[in-house]
Chains A and B, each alone.
Chain A
Amino acid sequence: MADQHKNPEANEIEGTADPQTTELIAYLDGELPEQDAERVEQLLLTNSLLRRNAESFDRTWQLLNSLEEPRASGQFTQKTLASISAVAAESDADRARDQRWSVKRHLPWSLIARGLIWCLAGFFACATGLLLSRMARSERTALTDAQILKDLDLYLQYPKLWRIPDVEFLKEVSDNAKPSPVAQETR
C-alpha cells in the first residue's frame, strides 16, 4: 500500500544497505515473517559473530532511551486553540468577504444580461411590427395596382369620357342602339 506513493529517493535508499544487516535489524524490530525470523534465530544460535552484532545493535538502540522526551509546555494547548480560533475567525471573515465580492462581481453582469434581453425583445418586437406593416402595405399596393390595370382602358379614355354629362345620357345612347361617335371611338 505504501509502495503506491514512494518518494524519488526510495530506489537510492533501497539499493545501498547490506541485506544481512537489514534482515537482522528487521528481526530485532519484529518485522520479519515467522519463517524468516526462525531462520535468523537458527543463525544466531550457531553464528557467534552475528550474535555479538545483534547484541551491539540492540544495546545502541537502548541508548536512545537516554534522550530527553520533552512534553508540551503548560500553555501549549491554550495557545494552539487560540491560534486556531483566530485562523477560523479570519477564514470566516474571508469567506464572507468572498461572498460579498461574488455578489458585487455578479451584480453588473446580471444587470447587463437583463438589459441585453430587453434590448433583444425590443428589437424583435420592432422587426416584427415593421414586417407586418410592410406586408399589409404591399397587400394594399397589390390591390390598388390590380384595380388600376383592370380600369386601365377607362383611364385612358378619361379625357373623352369626362364630357358625358350623366348616366341618363349613356342609357339614352344605349337605348337608341346607335352608337354615338364617342362610343365608336372608344371601341
Chain B
Amino acid sequence: MLKVSAGDSVAFEQLVMRYQDRLVGFFFHLVQDRSACEDLAQETFLRVYKSRERYEPTARFSTWLFRIAHNLASNQKRGASRRREIPLGSPAGDDDFRPQHQFLADKSALMPTRQLDSREIRDVVRNAVEELTEGQRTAVILHKFEEMSYEEIGEIMGLGIVAVKSLLSRARGKLKESLEKFL
C-alpha cells in the first residue's frame, strides 16, 4: 500500500488482485447479490485509490480496507432503506409466505429421518444469517470468513472489544436458535 501511496500503478493492480475475492465474498454475504457485491467491491477499491495519499500505516491494511468496505455497505443499506417505499417482509394477508428455513424445518419434521442435502443446508444457513441484524452479520462475516480478531472487528466497526464480544455472542445465540434443529 505504501507503493500505491507513492503512485505505483502496478502495486495497485497487485493489491486489487490480492483482495478482490475477499471483498467480493464479504459483500456477497452481506447483500446476497452477485452483481451488487462486485459493484460494491469495485467502489471500495475506488475509494482506496482516492484516499491513497492519506493512508497511514498505523493499522493492518486489511483492517483499513474492510473499514472502508463496512462504511460503504452501511451507507448503501441506509440509502436503500430510504428509497424503499414498500416494506420488505411478510406482505399483509399473504398467508402462504413463510421464510424458507421455516418451510424446510416443517418439511424435516414431517420426515424425521430425512437428511437435508447440502443445497438445502446452505439455504437454511443463509436464511439464518440474513435474520441477524446488520451489525451482527458484519461481525460474524469478519470473524468467520476473514478470521479477524475482536480488536480488528472493533476497529472496522467503530466498536469497543466488549461491544464486539456482546455482538458476536448475541449473533451466535441467534444462529444456534435458528440452526439447532438441523444439527
Contact = CB atoms under 8 A, between A and B. Distances in A.
Given A56-B183, A81-B16, A76 B42 contact: yes
Interface string B1-40: 0000000000011001100110111001100001001100
Contacts of A34: none
Contact-residue size bin, chain B (C-beta under 8 Å from the other chain): 35 or more
A63 B176 CA distance: 10
B121 A66 contact: yes
Interface string A116-136: 000000000000000000000
B161 A2 contact: yes
B20 A59 contact: no
A131 B151 CA distance: 80
A52 to B, nearest CB: 11
A112 interface: no
Main secondary structure of the interface of A (DSSP, over half): helix
Contacts of A77: 13, 16-17, 20
B183 A72 contact: no
B17 A60 contact: no
B158 interface: yes
Contacts of B20: 72, 76-77, 80
Given A2-B160, A10-B163, A26-B169, 11 more contacts: A2-B154, A2-B158, A13-B159, A16-B166, A22-B166, A29-B150, A29-B168, A56-B176, A63-B182, A64-B129, A67-B129
20 contacts: A2-B151, A6-B158, A6-B163, A10-B158, A13-B170, A14-B160, A17-B169, A17-B170, A21-B173, A57-B176, A61-B144, A63-B121, A63-B183, A72-B23, A72-B38, A80-B41, A81-B12, A83-B46, A84-B12, A84-B49
Q: 4 tightest CB-CB pairs across the interface, nearest first?
A: A2-B154, A17-B166, A22-B169, A3-B160
